[in-house]
Structure 1
Amino acid sequence: MVSRTPSSLHSALFSLHLYKYAFSGLAFISLMLVTFSYSPFNLVIEDVLANGSVVDVAGYREESQFEKTKSGYVLDCSVSEPRLFELCGLKFKYTGADNTLSLPSYANLDEVEVDAFIESDNPGAQHRAGVTFISLRDDVEYDENDLSTKRFQSVYFLPDDGVQLINRERIVVDAWWEKLYQVPYDIAASDLSAVASILVSVETLNKLDPGRYKLYLNSLLLKHHIITPASVNLFLALIWPAVMLVFLCHFVIVKRVEMQKLQLLADRDPDSGFINLNGLKRLYPGKLNNPLTIVNIRVRNYLALQREFSKETVTSLIKATFGPFTQDKHREAFLVRKQDENILLVLKDFDEAFFGNLISASQKGVNIPSLGHLRLDVKLGIARGERGMTVDELLAQTTIAIDAIMDNEHGYKIYQPELKKEYRQARFVEQELRIALANKAFHLVFMPVYDSEENRIAGAEVLLRTSHLPLKSFSPEVYIRVAEKAGLIREIDFWVLEQAILALQKIQQPDFVLSVNISSKELMDTRFAEELSRLIDQYHVRPGSLCLEVTETFFIDVNTICFESIQAIRNLGVKLSLDDFGTGHASLQHLLNMPVNEIKIDRSFVWTLESEKSAVIVDAIVSIAHICQYDVVAEGVETAEQLDKLIALGCRYFQGYLIAKPDSLDALLRFCHEVRHSPAMIQKIRATG
């Protein structure tokens, strides 16, 4: 220890000198930044009246005229017949040398300085002046005569008070424009990045009274900073604590007395501040002395929210949603971070109404500043621990309970002993799935799709089957659902896709389409389209001969990232099919906006066609699909009567045991040949039914 003291002392002195120079340098840079941010050199002023823009009247064009004076512009507007939303104003249009729009950006605008005055022969009337920035939307194609392609953002003021200084925050999107053109929420935000013109006008919120109005516009200045003082202040507010934190952390590491604090930090999640699993087990070591309830909260849309926003945003959303439930001192509840997408709520009592409140709070959502209204999609697994149990046993029970909730279900499930059997079955299926994948014990069968108009087999649906004996007692729906939960579905989906593409090489029939069911989780991954494109290029198949089937629930819950993935797939030329339509929550209105090529009517409607209600629904689906130019496939056709009714309703494509049962690729090829060379195939099919 004695030999190390000089070295430690030298290191401490070196650190002191290092931080002294670091703080001195940072102080000098901070002072220079602050001085520059508030100096005239940092201020940019644009004179709108003197920048050479094209000036014209707006609104009552025939009744208005203007002239340029030494002090600015004077607009004379005579209103004889008032018109709703018509205004009296001057428009300054930004154009280049070739008379095209120059579209300057005022995204960094700090304030507007305007000197204007209004005269009116309407005694006692007090009129407001308005400054409107008309910018172009970047999400639609610009049309000079279409107001919906422009964004109207205005600020109004009383011009009698002399020169007005207007902050940028007062310039907001005009409500009439947003309402009239039903502008989406994310597009309706104020944006001055591509300004086409600036309009100065007299009162635009209502129609003007008859009379004569004069608008004297002496100056219109736009001011912005190269570096805003607020950003400098924010930078300094962040950098100084950061440097101080580095300094303090250095001494925390050096000093032995801080070891206890480091131990405390080990029991906390650094992102959220919640207790982690280590901290929970430290609070409840060994067997429980009193009853305890653990609620396992799994955030199903955690990854989607994190990709679209950030991890910090999701953490803030979790805190805002579930934090209030820990404020009740009588309940003594607290939050634990188990994993990124798993939060535990630990409490002493057991109250089912309280669990329902947790679900309601997550569905209600939270308003996050600058981001809007966000909500968590959660499911809860709940376990009640009695004296003598351990925390590990409770956690295992919450996992079993939460895994018993289906992916398309919402709500909570309380652990019951019978759930353990289902959990063990799922684990068994998962284990056997891994063995089957390793042994390549899967194969495909093909369900033909019959085209009644052209009397041909137009395509087939690819179905997964297994030769692995332990899995043969389970339906494919069971082990596919387990594969999704176990993270094996990607490997299965791409194996099926590759085998389907290989089958297409053997089929080699024009306009033949193979349909493959794809897990919605794959379409949430933006890399899926890249992998699909690689397979298509590798095997040289026509993209249009491949169709991906996705359930309607996916299209209802789809977010921005999913739409990007869908668009990438459509850009490849691959078709999309809406599978089992009518079993989810999509309405007929949804059909108008779904980015699909095909709709598959669920077999439940086909089997109940004798019901007038089902027949009307099928008729509506087919009619809307034809308007939208979607193909319609009826699933589950098993009788000739069903086939005839569907044809009468305008359906063209059919799939079901009446046509053919799922079979091998060779059997599919033989069946295609048989149908192609049998002009009376439709009569044969009816006869078999």
Structure 2
Amino acid sequence: MLDAVLDAADAGFAITDRRGHLRWVTRLMADLLDLTVDQCTGRSLPALLTGAPDTPHDGLVISQSTRDGTDQRWLEVRCTEFRDDQLLYRVADISRWRATGIDRRQRTAWQAELVRLADQDPLTGLLNRRALTRELERRLAHGGTGALLLLDLDNFKDINDLRGHPTGDRVMRAIAAALREHLDDRLGERHALGRLDGDEFAAVLADTDEPTALDLADQLRAAVAVLPLTENGGADTTRVTISAGVAGFHPGESWQAVLANADLALHAAKSAGRNRVTVYEQGHYADTALRVTVHDRIRDAIAHGGFALHAMPIIKLGSKRVVGHELLLRLEDGREPRLSPGEFLPAAERSDLVLDIDRWVIGTAIDTLVAHPYPGLRFNVNVSGRTLEDEDFGDFVVRRLAAAGVAPGRLGFEITETAAVTNLSAARSLAQRLRASGCRISLDDFGAGFGSFVHLKQLPITGVKIDGEFVRGIDYGSRDTVLVQGIVDIARGLGISVVAEWVERASQVDALARLGVRVAQGFHLGKPEPLTTLLARPHVAWKRRNPRSLDEPGPVAEGSTAQ
């Protein structure tokens, strides 16, 4: 199984003896050397590379240039030593995106593809938040005018809760496709469409006035309302509506202000009954009940206790024992309209308020651990992409833990793979700081991004949480089985834990257990509940002196990294 995963990787791998003779190669390595796997065995790797020395040494970089007609291939080979059963071997790996570049044009095309993937939302294929806000900022900086359109799915959380995340994902992709088709028909290339976060989309409409944008938004609303979203062979039909906010933009404005204006218009549409479009009107909101904006509610919630935490159990599949809880944020300020995390978190992400939210969650989690000093009570908290850029966040966590006297191993952090890839340097720095202090740190939604296995080498993490996309069909004998098996095998080899999410039926539990997944979470295993409710119940397991760690099959040794 590990061979199959390595064959699918973006790099070729080989093992040689001390003299540089090949003992084992992956198919990709053989292809790059223009040989079959069998032909490689016993051949001298240096001899196969033009101009290379006779024997490779630690850290050596060998380049090969061969010409066949007008084509040219450049290979880069790195050799390092390792021990296996007391035998010294050498490992050679060829980075595929460098090695398979036939000429400069192909290398440039591949690099352009990497940039495109970094700007793409993995679920819908649309632009992600970073790319879309950058496009808005670019248009404003170049004196452009137009309108920003925000679209939010009404009551989308109900679809995920009642029909499951797989259905929710299918709905999200169908709506994204419909929005893209209608905008392409009306505006051609004069628009940029993206998914901001959760169930919120946005479109930058170039050279479009507000009346035109309003008409277009209303057409999009009507188109979504009649989408034939069916499942189970057409027996079940899912109906979705959207609310939209429109805000014009002009040179001299900041992209943050334009987003805030569109956000006000969007929430005005929701407050007016949803399934409608509202245009931002300057000064209109100051004298109405809508003057309490999302940002105001977030600030008030942080200051006056309007936030609450819910806890979702993380279960060891063999014993069905709870080994920890993921903490989920809820806004419970008693105001209308009620806002789900998918409604207020995107607004917080677009401002510095998300930094305050993350610190509030951490502080509350630590205070709870102090009040309930049972080793078996362990929490995982999510870290936003914006917080990765907060250089003081790691020190803040370490100081709070030290002042509270809480064992760092009782607190874990989850960073989405997409956020980590967007700012890999910041993610690595934060992970190193937290890991060195003894905290657990996991890569969430693992497998959703480009080059997932490469990230395991670059981030000092203790675990991965398999993206639900790979779990939802795990019991149907799909390709997901091979991918999950590969993740499990590699994680075990690196000494890091594996958790599966989106477990919604018993057959998934059986399939995951057969693949070696030991820990999971999902509505089938346990739904989120208020943290206060959880803490009010007696839990004998919390009081065990030596509970099993969340890190299955075992945590990384102190001070080590998953490299």
TM-score normalised by structure 2 residue count: 0.50
TM-score normalised by structure 1 residue count: 0.41
